[in-house]
Structure 1
Amino acid sequence: MAAPAPHPFVYIDAAALHSLLPFPSLISHLRAGLAHPELSAGIQCPQRVSFPLPTAPSAALLLMPSWCSHPTLPYLALKAVTSFPSNSPRLPSVHAAVSLFSSATGAPLASIEGSALTLRRNAAVSALAASLIASPAKSAALMARLREAHPGLAVEEAGGMDEAVAAADVVSCATGSTEPIVRGALLRPGAHLDLVGSFTPAMRECDDEALRRGRVFVDFEAAMEEAGELVGAFQRGVLRREDVAGTLAELAAGTVQGRRGDDEITVFKSVGTAVVDLLAAQLAYETHIAAHKNDLIP
């Protein structure tokens, strides 16, 4: 395996990530990486490890490593995440940092602002899933409206969650709720439900009816061990593991069928894994190096 060309160690901050990871490029990069069978097979991603911290109520440190031996992805990444739910509203409750190394030599290559990277890869993963399983006609119409409104977006406050769910073609949740906030009975035919927030068995953003009515996909198999919506549904007999239609990688590769009809309700559950962190870090690092190749002297 060829090692990346030697470059000075770099730090990539949040502002730089916004320019290095435009969503069209990031979504395309994730799709290509996940759909590549040899590349996907070469990525190793141990389950995240969580350590409770005595320094603050419910505080935790999460470590998410991943690495690859494929020559087109010769990197090792480690994301460290701190979760401090009791932080004041002025301070985010989650912080993260990503360290990128060469998987050929172990040499450190970059430190990347992890919170911004996580936000962008979460949005890109949800957008990729929606492009593969949400209603195509409705998605196209939404994109046309967004392009017309660019660079600003019109945001309206709904009267209540139930009202918003009942009216929406795409429902996206990114909360730390432990109680269902989306009632499946209200999902309209053809709706797509995107669940991003929960990543422990104690967390839950939708009720069992949403899973019962919808065709369920996950970002990676780890979701079936970590996501409270799925873990609880399995325990209650609402859903079986074999009822999960497929993973994001299988959708991207075309090995499982996506949406089967305009009225089908689809559900995508993402817990976030180091695989997409590794791919996003690769794109950010290589784009940065390419943009500064004349400034970097090994």
Structure 2
Amino acid sequence: MAAAAAAPTNSSSHSPLVVLDAPALLSLLPPSALIPHLRSTLPALSSSVRAPLRHSHPLSQGEAAPPSLLLLMPCWSLDPSLLPYLGVKIVTVTPSVRASYSLFSSPGGLPLASLDGTLLTLLRTSAASALASLLLSRPSSSTLVLLGAGALAPHLVSAHRVARPGLTRFLLWNRTPEKASHLASQLQLQHPGVLFQVADDVDEAVAAGDIVCCATGSRTPLVKGERLKRGAHLNMVGSFTPEMRECDDEAVRRGRVFVDSEDAFREAGELVGALERGVISREDVAGTLADLAAGRVVGRRGEEEEEVTVFKSVGTAVFDLLTAQLAYESFLKGSENTSEVPTY
């Protein structure tokens, strides 16, 4: 989709609010559409979009209560001629993560759509991760190691199969082996012709990966930098607070690091800690995903290049807004009438 696609005017105050539930989003946002959409829109629109650091509010009371958070993630375009939308995602972490997304027209502020924010987050996160792998991993990559068997895991697999069709082996690891085994069985049925295996040892799994994807909320490093093979690409999309860490300092030191947004310097435990300890400086971070997509910075510098690359995502409202844009505009283009999807 063109980066500067204009939304329908929809200026009537009686225009229906479109409701895009999970099945609708799965239909409207396949990785084959969302990955190229992010690749084309990030360079063109990221400079004109504002996304404040997420608002985080603790909900639990007392040390004995499980940690619970309310997150608010607003985002809007400063140039409606390029992107005529504003949106906000409301997230609850209890510790299960659930979300709702509201899309509005800009600058009029008319509500346009309510989207399943939980699935939207899974789809945009997996697509951004796969885009990073497309731009940073070796084209010859054949083995992907996936740490974590939660809700994001199957979407990461689907998106990476689109970004890197040459992946023929997926090695799954989870703290609970039974969960990894169950996921592997499900994925094997969904992706015939691709081998899914369960890893017992996380260090051995990491050492086998051409691409290593972390989708956990770990507070202790799972990926040891010394275990990463030469030329490997490390994707970390699970942690999003300074207390969380999916890799150790050595992985950050060895890697050529890219981030999804500047927020990673304040929210990614892997980077916050490495910066505080002097392992790296901010100048050592090569750029953002938007920089990569625009060609403003060089990604992997050739098939024979043996450097390790690292992509760290904490989640940015910019990706939410661009994903909601694609879902809403695709729905409008594909529907003869709004009765096909609930409206209010």
Structure 1 residue aligned with 2:26? 18
Q: Aligned to 2:314, what secondary structure does the other structure show?
A: coil
Structure 2 residue aligned with 1:77? 87
Instruction: State whether structure 2 residue 117 is matched by structure 1 residue 114.
Output: yes
In 2: Cα distance, 1:197 partner to 1:10 partner:
30
Give ranges in structure 2 of 5+ residues lacking alignment: 1-5, 143-160, 170-187
In 2: Cα distance, 1:58 partner to 1:204 partner:
17
Task: Decide which of 243, 258, 265 is 2:308's aligned counterpart.
Answer: 265
Q: Aligned to 1:110, what secondary structure does the other structure show?
A: strand
1:133-152 matched pairs, under 5 angstroms: 133-138=136-141, 143-145=165-167, 151-152=191-192
1:97-246 matched pairs, under 5 angstroms: 97-138=100-141, 143-145=165-167, 151-152=191-192, 153-246=194-287
1:9 shift after superposition: 0.7
1:8 shift after superposition: 1.6
Structure 2 residue aligned with 1:4? 8
In 2: Cα distance, 1:222 partner to 1:59 partner:
21
Q: Check the 8 A contact 1:12/1:111 in 2, yes or no.
A: yes
1:143 shift after superposition: 1.1
Instruction: State whether structure 2 residue 314 is matched by structure 1 residue 274.
Output: no
1:145 shift after superposition: 4.8
2:259 counterpart letter in structure 1: V
Give ranges in structure 1 of 5+ residues lacking alignment: 86-92
**Cα–Cα, structure 1 residues 160 and 16, in superposed 2: closer, same or farther, change >3 Å?**
same
1:246 shift after superposition: 0.6
In 2: Cα distance, 1:206 partner to 1:40 partner:
28
TM-score with structure 2 setting the length: 0.79
1:34 shift after superposition: 0.7
1:269 shift after superposition: 0.3
**Cα–Cα, structure 1 residues 50 and 79, in superposed 2: closer, same or farther, change >3 Å?**
same
In 1: Cα distance, 2:276 partner to 2:111 partner:
43
Structure 2 residue aligned with 1:288? 331
Q: Deviations over 1:119-161 (max 9, x none)?
A: 01011001101111111222699513559x8744532111210
**Cα–Cα, structure 1 residues 255 and 151, in superposed 2: closer, same or farther, change >3 Å?**
same
Task: Decide which of 22, 28, 36 is 1:28's aligned counterpart.
Answer: 36
Task: Decide which of 64, 80, 84 is 2:73's aligned counterpart.
Answer: 64
In 2: Cα distance, 1:31 partner to 1:208 partner:
29
In 2: Cα distance, 1:54 partner to 1:11 partner:
31
1:3 shift after superposition: 6.7
Q: Aligned to 1:172, what secondary structure does the other structure show?
A: strand
1:41 counterpart letter in structure 2: S
In 2: Cα distance, 1:14 partner to 1:295 partner:
16
Aligned-pair identity (%): 58
Q: Check the 8 A contact 2:49/2:76 in 1, yes or no.
A: yes
Q: Deviations over 1:191-245 (max 9, x none)?
A: 0000001111111000000011111110111101110000000000001011001
1:294 shift after superposition: 3.8
Structure 2 residue aligned with 1:40? 46
